[in-house]
Amino acid sequence: MKTYSYPKPDLWPKICERTAFDVPITKELCRQIFADVYKRRDESLRTYTKKFDGVDLSSIVSADADLKKWADKTPMALRIAINLAAENIKKFHLAQKTDILQETVSTMPGVVCWRESRPVERVGLYVPGGSAPLVSTVLMLGIPAKLAGCKEIVLCTPPSVGEKLAPAICYAALLVGATTVVNVGGIQAIAALSLGTESVPKVDKIFGPGNQFVTTAKQFAGEYGVAIDMPAGPSEVMVIADNSANPAFVAADILSQAEHGPDSQAVLVSTEDVLIAAVKKLLKLQSQGLPRKDIVRAALENSYIVKLGSIDEAIKFANTYAPEHLILNIKDAEKVVSEISNAGSVFLGNYSPESAGDYASGTNHTLPTGGWARSYGGVSLDSFVKKVTFQSLSYKGLKSLAPTITAIAEAEGLRAHAEAVRIRLRKNKV
Amino acid sequence: MKTYSYPKPDLWPKICERTAFDVPITKELCRQIFADVYKRRDESLRTYTKKFDGVDLSSIVSADADLKKWADKTPMALRIAINLAAENIKKFHLAQKTDILQETVSTMPGVVCWRESRPVERVGLYVPGGSAPLVSTVLMLGIPAKLAGCKEIVLCTPPSVGEKLAPAICYAALLVGATTVVNVGGIQAIAALSLGTESVPKVDKIFGPGNQFVTTAKQFAGEYGVAIDMPAGPSEVMVIADNSANPAFVAADILSQAEHGPDSQAVLVSTEDVLIAAVKKLLKLQSQGLPRKDIVRAALENSYIVKLGSIDEAIKFANTYAPEHLILNIKDAEKVVSEISNAGSVFLGNYSPESAGDYASGTNHTLPTGGWARSYGGVSLDSFVKKVTFQSLSYKGLKSLAPTITAIAEAEGLRAHAEAVRIRLRKNKV
């Protein structure tokens, strides 16, 4: 890990830049697959699943009976863990629920305006498969979707050989109440959710993480009027540590980030030379026993340490970086909370590792990466609803607003806007 | 206007499709201008402003003294109108303000999670110029930005000949408290907000309407980590009318939509032949006196009427179309409010024309078009903030979550995630 020693603030934006990756080949592949799924629909999904996953799909959608059969193979200890994590996620997201009717304001006599919350009706949840099926992603997306009242919850995940889905994924899918489970992954899954096929319903919004293929495909979804949760990039953590931090915990947190993927980034910001030296040593030691050691090594090459003069400066650096995860492993961490302006999820103190939030504390783990925390929050119940504005004016209400509306409309050169008011006052039948 | 008589529900999605426009030339132009603004910065803004607006800019940013001088030229009646509209917009958006600290939940003993709201620090507001400067857009974007606590509010609007900005725009910019007013419009304005130049601050999120150049440029902003308010398309209205509706009001509402631009769309959905016939006749009559008659004619060619058997069906059709503006010119309109699931802003009854919401009732006029109302709400105070998640675990809290975290982490093949918990329990110094 490279170390920056007391970098000047005008260098911070440069240090904080993430590696951009633009992949014209992936874009071209997306264009082809979207066009083919549009034309050949289910048949196209079979072709690409055979090509990319090596699986001959007999059914594109899992039957409920099959889901139940596979779910039953989930070991009991894992079921208990999933149940408890689900409970906590439910509790935290339920607290985000607002009244349907909101902010009724009578801005003037006879002019009543309000907003009402409505679920996004059809949502698609992408759950990556591959080496490890991400059961936690099913919970993090499925639970708020259900709480929000989404009518269709379509879960897509790639099949493994033998056309089976991982038992824990099936268990979690049934637990959250997914309405359709599609055994398709990759670009073709996102294309199916965007366009609809005989088996896969078209959705209004797509959620979930994925590799560069899935991420690029999600950008394409926008061209078909389908929204996405947020722009995605490699996962990242920033740890701010002072002399109250246990260097072994700091090293473990950095490694748990590094094992996500070779493009993951961990940034340690500290005021303490002794701690920095200890963490460096412990990173080597702790990484030895890890199964994903090679990934960890690659990610650490992409990571760095920043030495700064004060915690105050460290917080300012964090706001410049806008990390997905921010661990404040410092004394009286709660005192600096109000200073944090740009971060996805923040972990306070020595006993709040990122993995708590990744799985089980109740907060969502779908968070803004790549500096998007400057403008986006993580996935929450809000991500599954939208708010519709309503207004009701009486004749008197309109009359009192009329001079205002007509003056601005005329100033903007929009005469018919003014006329829509004038005609109502002229032809008043009340 | 084409009429669809009792179309079957399976044809609705096809009828509701908006005309897509893909403009490779615009994309190429955006690519060039972004690259040039990146390289030549302020100098590039001068070049393109000369080229596209025919103006030799002496200063890219308006000095406060100049803004005040120009604002003073706003006629008194217009100032009064702007002030009242601003008051109403402020009232409605202030009601959307939430506590900073939200949803503190102790999901388990020793596990405390919550969210806090933070303003998006730097926002860019694009205000179209051209034939009519949109003073209402300054209010609709600037007021919630200020209420949300955004630190930098950068307003961009194209200069007119003589390098002057419209007096009302200056008046409104000062009223809402814009921190910088940039005399640049078009693609080059969006590029400047995305990249930053010597004079124009880089922002985190860009808001506002615009022509196809501005809309395409906003899509490019995403590649530089800058968020946008929502995808944009031509403006649209749907009017649902029964026999309680005054056909003259319905016609006036359709025309006020049609004058926005030749690509605007108005859709009339009704159960009543008599009303449909009357509206058709009145559209001809009322459009005669309008200054933007040619635009209106083009927009009406792009518009249509749907005859359906019941208001219930009409509402279902509206939910399929997902209109930006929905006028419920029907008896007891409030009774169907709960049935509306996809719409931007809804206007109830005979005395709630769209122009009330466009200017002065207090609701926001920046709304989802092109069917995006299925997944997006309009601009609100929420659009100018993001929510950050926090969590604080005690040793005991982490201990009680440990089996859950480690079981799921191991199932996902992420050993280091489990280790970050185990090491804290092993090395407990409490």
- Per residue in A197-256, pLDDT (tens digit) is 999 999 999 999 888 899 999 999 998 999 999 988 899 999 999 999 999 999 999 999
Q: A261: nearest CA in chain B? A: B414
C-beta atoms of B353 and A246 within 8 A:
no
Question: Scanning the structure block, which residue is given the tokens 């949109």?
Answer: B134
Given A334, A397, A419, which is nearest B252 (Cβ)? A419
Q: B359: nearest CA in chain A? A: A405
Q: Identify the sign of the CA torsion A71, A75, A80, A82.
A: negative
Alpha-carbon gap: B307 to the closest alpha carbon of chain A (Å): 23
Q: Give per-residue pLDDT as tens, B291-323.
A: 999 999 999 999 999 999 999 999 999 999 999
- Confidence band of A162 (pLDDT split at 50, 70, 90): low
| Residue A160 pLDDT | 78
- Confidence band of A123 (pLDDT split at 50, 70, 90): very high
Distance CA A175, CA A124 (A): 17
Q: Give per-residue pLDDT as tens, B367-378.
A: 999 999 999 999
Active site members of B: 324-325
Alpha-carbon gap: A55 to the closest alpha carbon of chain B (Å): 22
Distance CA A169, CA B374 (A): 28
Distance CA B53, CA A144 (A): 48
- Asked if B201 is an interface residue toward chain A (Cβ–Cβ < 8 A), one would say no
Given B205, B258, B421, which is nearest A353 (Cβ)? B421
Q: Give per-residue pLDDT as tens, B176-200.
A: 999 999 999 999 999 999 999 999 9
| Residue A430 pLDDT | 42
Asked whether residue A3 carries a pLDDT value surpassing 60, the answer given is yes
Q: Give per-residue pLDDT as tens, A21-32.
A: 667 888 899 999
Query: Comparing B172 with B232, which gets the higher pLDDT?
Result: B172
Q: A326: nearest CA in chain B? A: B390
Q: Which residues of A touch B105 (CB under 8 A)?
A: 91-92, 95, 362
Q: Which residues of A touch B418 (CB under 8 A)?
A: 355
Phi, psi of B110 (to 5 degrees): 85, 5
Asked whether residue B288 carries a pLDDT value surpassing 60, the answer given is yes
Sheet with B2-5, edge to edge strand ranges: A101-108, A111-119, A385-393, B345-348, B325-329, B236-241, B265-270, B304-307, B2-5
Distance from CA of residue B396 to its chain's centroid?
Answer: 46
Mean pLDDT of B78-88: 97
- Asked if A204 is an interface residue toward chain B (Cβ–Cβ < 8 A), one would say yes
| Residue A204 pLDDT | 98
- Asked if A35 is an interface residue toward chain B (Cβ–Cβ < 8 A), one would say no
Distance CA A150, CA A166 (A): 25
Asked whether residue B359 carries a pLDDT value surpassing 90, the answer given is yes
CA nearest to A376, candidates A229, A257, A215? A229
| Amino acid identity, position B61 | V
Residue of A389, A423, A426 to mutate, interface with B, max B Cβ within 10 Å: A389
* Helical (H) or strand (E) element with B404: helix B395-411
Per cent of chain A over pLDDT 70 is 98
Mean pLDDT rounded to a whole number for chain A: 94
Q: Which residues of B touch A374 (CB under 8 A)?
A: 120-121, 204, 225
Mean pLDDT of A131-136: 83
Phi, psi of A351 (to 5 degrees): -115, 20
Q: Which residues of A touch B391 (CB under 8 A)?
A: 345-348, 352, 356-357, 361, 363
- Asked if A278 is an interface residue toward chain B (Cβ–Cβ < 8 A), one would say no
Q: Give per-residue pLDDT as tens, A78-98.
A: 999 999 999 999 999 999 998
- Asked if A298 is an interface residue toward chain B (Cβ–Cβ < 8 A), one would say no
- Asked if A360 is an interface residue toward chain B (Cβ–Cβ < 8 A), one would say yes
Q: Which residues of B touch A292 (CB under 8 A)?
A: 413-416
Residue B289 · residue B325 · CB < 8 Å:
no
Cβ atoms within 10 A of the Cβ of A1, count? 17
Asked whether residue B397 carries a pLDDT value surpassing 50, the answer given is yes
C-beta atoms of B404 and A84 within 8 A:
yes
| Residue A166 pLDDT | 87
| Residue B131 pLDDT | 65
Count, residues in chain B: 430
Mean pLDDT of A181-202: 97
> Cα torsion at B257, B261, B262, B267 (round to 10°)?
-20
Asked whether residue A133 carries a pLDDT value surpassing 90, the answer given is no
Distance CA B54, CA A339 (A): 45
C-beta atoms of A387 and B377 within 8 A:
yes
Q: Which residues of A touch B119 (CB under 8 A)?
A: 341
Residue of A352, A354, A396, A410 to mutate, interface with B, max B Cβ within 10 Å: A352
Query: Comparing A151 with B25, which gets the higher pLDDT?
Result: A151
Asked whether residue B228 carries a pLDDT value surpassing 70, the answer given is yes
Q: Give per-residue pLDDT as tens, A318-377.
A: 999 999 999 999 999 999 999 999 999 999 999 999 999 999 999 999 999 999 999 999
The 3-state DSSP class for residue B152 equals strand
C-beta atoms of B227 and A108 within 8 A:
no
C-beta atoms of B378 and A389 within 8 A:
yes
Asked whether residue B243 carries a pLDDT value surpassing 50, the answer given is yes
Mean pLDDT rounded to a whole number for chain B: 94
Phi, psi of B385 (to 5 degrees): -130, 165
- Confidence band of B156 (pLDDT split at 50, 70, 90): very high
- Confidence band of B430 (pLDDT split at 50, 70, 90): very low
C-beta atoms of B118 and A342 within 8 A:
yes
C-beta atoms of A412 and B361 within 8 A:
no
- Asked if A378 is an interface residue toward chain B (Cβ–Cβ < 8 A), one would say yes
Tell me which long-range contacts B143-146 makes (C-beta under 8 A, separation of at least 24): B143/B86, B143/B89, B143/B90, B143/B93, B143/B176, B144/B89, B144/B93, B144/B96, B144/B364, B144/B379, B144/B380, B144/B381, B144/B383, B144/B384, B145/B176, B145/B207, B145/B384, B146/B176, B146/B177
Given B374, B393, B408, which is nearest A85 (Cβ)? B408
| Residue A400 pLDDT | 96
* Helical (H) or strand (E) element with A144: helix A135-148
- What's the pTM value of the predicted model, to 2 decimals? 0.96
Residue A159 · residue A49 · CB < 8 Å:
yes
Question: Scanning the structure block, which residue is given the tokens 């596209």?
Answer: B52
C-beta atoms of B419 and A378 within 8 A:
no
Q: Which residues of A touch B256 (CB under 8 A)?
A: 414, 416-417, 419-420
| Residue B428 pLDDT | 62
Asked whether residue B429 carries a pLDDT value surpassing 70, the answer given is no
- Confidence band of A164 (pLDDT split at 50, 70, 90): confident
Q: Which residues of A touch B378 (CB under 8 A)?
A: 387, 389
A59-68, A141-150, A266-275: the lowest-pLDDT one: A59-68
Count H helices and E strands in chain B, helices first.
Answer: 16, 14
Q: List, in order, residues 6 or more apart from A335 with CB less than 8 Å away.
A: none
Q: Give per-residue pLDDT as tens, B407-426.
A: 999 999 999 999 999 999 99
> Radius of gyration (Cα) for chain B, nearest Å?
25
B273-287 and A415-426 helices cross at what angle (nearest 10)?
Answer: 120
Query: Is residue B400 classed exposed, middle or buried when 0-12, 13-18 and 19+ CB atoms within 10 A define those classes?
Result: middle
